[in-house]
Structure 1
Amino acid sequence: MTTWLHEQRLAEAREVVRQCGARTVLDLGCGDGDLLVRLAVEPQIERMVGVDVCEESLERLRARLEALDGTETADVELVHGSMIEGGAAVAGFDCAILIETIEHIDPDRLSVLERTVFAGMRPATVVITTPNAEFNPLLGVPPHRFRHPDHRFEWDRARFQRWARGAAGRNGYQLVCRDIAGYHPAFGGASQMAVFTAT
């Protein structure tokens, strides 16, 4: 069972995949597969690879894929590993998606992630979502806390957009950022999305 806010994130990412016409999709930090199982039944998608460091999450995802009972249209492969490792198996995809994952990485490792995803994997489209720290008071999160104990950081919109602009500029991508998962006139959405398109 996913929350309404998470369903909004997934719907936004799914719409980007549809709009960019991706036939091959890489889900980095796929977890239990909330996005992957939704995309597996999209007619345009031919191949998907999900990557996660947690073997237990991948086992749960395998069970979810089996429960689709042949309704999936995409060939799906699951890889146990880190999304900052890269390699030939995860290169050349039309679209790479990182849903609420970068905040689980130490900030000083984000440069490694950037090189791996944008320079190494080089997908035509990259979709990244991450919590919007400005929205935290509306969720009852105290100022000195993060939403999840495993989060290494949570950025406000200005900070995320600075990072995203830098990554886009250094790697030859166009960038669009927007609020997602609800909206407040002062605080924005619960999450924020960056869509990078290779030039």
Structure 2
Amino acid sequence: MLLTITNSRYPATDLGFLLHKHPGKVQSVEVVNGKAHVFYPEVSDERCTCAILLDMDPVGLVRNSDGNPFALDQYVNDRPYVASSFMTSAISKGFSSALNGNCKAKPELVSIPLQLEVQLSVLSVKGGEEVLQQLFLPLGYELTAIQHPLDPHFPEWGESRYFTVTLKNTVTLQALLSHLYVLIPVMDNEKHYWVNEEEITKLMNKGKGWLEEHPAKELIVRRYLRYQQKLSNEALAAITVSEDTPVVEKESKQTLHDIRLKAVSDEIARLQVRSVVDLGCGEGRLIKLLLENKQLQRITGMDVSSRSLEVAARRLKLDKMIDTQRKRINLLHGSLTYRDRRLQGYEVATLVEVIEHLDEDRLLALEKNVFNEILPDTIVLTTPNKDWNITFTEDETMKRHSDHRFEWTREEFQAWCEHIRDAYKYTYEIKPLGEEIEAVGAPSQMVVFSKQ
């Protein structure tokens, strides 16, 4: 399988500096069950092409398959001949500096868009040209796809799923390689290794800056994570902005989310505690408000999205804080559905518009972790009130967040609170948040759980 990258922005030989591969040499890197050979078919100031040729060992693929669910694949398969996750491994190893945005010789080149052309020969695309268009056109690529017949001698057999694909775009090399790294296995819809939680981190890192707004985001995530529902849902929740779209009250410029945060902050101030952990802290809006509470000496935010934590650090200006302030804050990367000793020992835990982003079958794991493992004295939790949704009109532009997996009515919410009381020995008090309307209540609801 062959991948070529051509730069036609003068001087085109800048491509060699960015890829950290000398145009006068053929270089090889080891990959699983094969080798990737990097070389330059053409080099000039006007046009420079770098090729990566992946040479796979068909026998090694069978010997090292670890029981992959291939039946006849040991004898008949396309893995040595098509661009797949093996190619993304080759990109990661062969072009690691460029993929990570590093260029020691000419660092100023990293942020400069180049006139790039990519050709992939051949590419397995499950879903055909329509999938190619879904994936690349929103990213600004000019796409040419040549579909190959199953057998040119037997045209009645129809077309195969294999394409020679040419992509053109004016984009940074790092962005191009990131797109290929994520989208090649998405198009192929296969991976040569077991997918686990580490893949979420890879996807978040390589998709940063473009995947969040991609219209085919859900397709990309689910294929990249091999349709593992738990992993896919966690990744989508991490990619999605963690805070709900603000709902504007009719007679106030203050948003509903502002009301939530103020209510939670006021509740913590009333409790006169010294430590709080914000579970699912998102971009740090609540933490920024809590910093005004001088009594709090230990404020920790935890989120599954590393990108949200980066935004939180910038929002809070951690790099510019004086030492006494900086020592009060800690940001942690983690999931609130898994045991984590770092989260223990806090007087208060908050979950602001978090639980509705989980699948309901993961809610029990959250319950056990928060109410049985973390065990704070007080838990302050908010979630939308489903009863309120009937007030939305069809042309309403400020609706609930699209990532909500469920929403509870006031009755359902109270039933859940009673379950928590009986199962984990916490008393509770429910408070409405926002403007109340007769028969439907307020748009959001807050509960304060206190350890008995």
| Normalised TM-score (structure 2) | 0.41
By relative contact order (CA 8 Å, sep 6+), the higher-ranking structure is 1
Task: Name the CA distance, whole Å, in 1 between partners of 2:429 and 2:413.
Answer: 12
State the Cα distance separating 1:168 from its structure 2 match: 1.9
Identify which of 277, 298, 304 aligns with 1:26: 277
Question: What is residue 35 of structure 1 aligned with on the other side?
Answer: 286
Task: Name the CA distance, whole Å, in 2 between partners of 1:182 and 1:96.
Answer: 25
Identify which of 120, 131, 150 aligns with 2:384: 131
Task: Name the CA distance, whole Å, in 2 between partners of 1:141 and 1:73.
Answer: 46
User: Do the aligned residues in 2 keep the contact of 1:27 with 1:49 (CA within 8 Å)?
Assistant: yes
Aligned residues: 196
Identify which of 80, 99, 102 aligns with 2:333: 80
Percent identical across equivalent pairs? Answer: 37
State the Cα distance separating 1:34 from its structure 2 match: 1.1
Task: Name the CA distance, whole Å, in 1 between partners of 2:375 and 2:431.
Answer: 22
Task: Name the CA distance, whole Å, in 2 between partners of 1:141 and 1:35.
Answer: 31
User: Do the aligned residues in 2 keep the contact of 1:105 with 1:152 (CA within 8 Å)?
Assistant: yes
Could you list the runs of 5+ residues in structure 1 that have no partner in the other structure? none
Question: What is residue 437 of structure 2 aligned with on the other side?
Answer: 184
Q: Give the aligned residue type for 1:66.
A: K
State the Cα distance separating 1:182 from its structure 2 match: 2.1
Identify which of 58, 63, 83 aligns with 2:309: 58
Q: Give the aligned residue type for 2:308.
A: S
Question: What is residue 451 of structure 2 aligned with on the other side?
Answer: 198
Change (3 A) 1:19 1:73: farther
Question: What is residue 100 of structure 1 aligned with on the other side?
Answer: 353
Change (3 A) 1:116 1:141: farther
- More displaced stretch, 110-119 vs 146-155: 146-155
User: Do the aligned residues in 2 keep the contact of 1:23 with 1:47 (CA within 8 Å)?
Assistant: yes
Task: Name the CA distance, whole Å, in 1 between partners of 2:327 and 2:415.
Answer: 35
Q: Give the aligned residue type for 2:353.
A: E
Q: Give the aligned residue type for 1:185.
A: E
| Normalised TM-score (structure 1) | 0.91
User: Cα RMSD (Å) of the superposition?
Assistant: 2.1
Q: Give the aligned residue type for 2:392.
A: L
Could you list the runs of 5+ residues in structure 2 that have no partner in the other structure? 1-244, 249-254
Task: Name the CA distance, whole Å, in 1 between partners of 2:403 and 2:335.
Answer: 16
Identify which of 120, 123, 136 aligns with 2:373: 120
Task: Name the CA distance, whole Å, in 2 between partners of 1:95 and 1:124.
Answer: 6
Task: Name the CA distance, whole Å, in 2 between partners of 1:183 and 1:72.
Answer: 38
User: Do the aligned residues in 2 keep the contact of 1:41 with 1:74 (CA within 8 Å)?
Assistant: no
Moved over 6 A (4+): none
